[in-house]
Amino acid sequence: MRCGSEEIDLVAVHRGHRFVVEVKTALRSSGIDPAENLDERKVAALRRAVAQLDPPIGRIDLITVVLDGSGADVRWTPSVA
């Protein structure tokens, strides 16, 4: 979803509460933790984007996906920002 010049990966609803989910993906062979790509600059961009929603959303969650030959390791971290 585009909000001005910013992008929101997902807007989710759980138990009546709306929140934004940022999704980061990496190959296991890269040795990169996809969570490391959620830096201060990206959080600031997400905050600008969610401020444009009606009503604005205050909670940002993170889902990381690490891919390898046997499948995907998916992790959810609530309230990262």
DSSP-assigned letters across all residues of 28-55 = GGGT--GGGG--HHHHHHHHHHHHTSSS
What is the pLDDT, as a whole number, of residue 4? 79
Average pLDDT in the chain: 92
Q: What is the pLDDT of residues 34-66, one digit of tens each?
A: 999 899 999 999 999 999 898 889 899 999 999
Domain boundaries, given as residue ranges, for the chain: 2-77
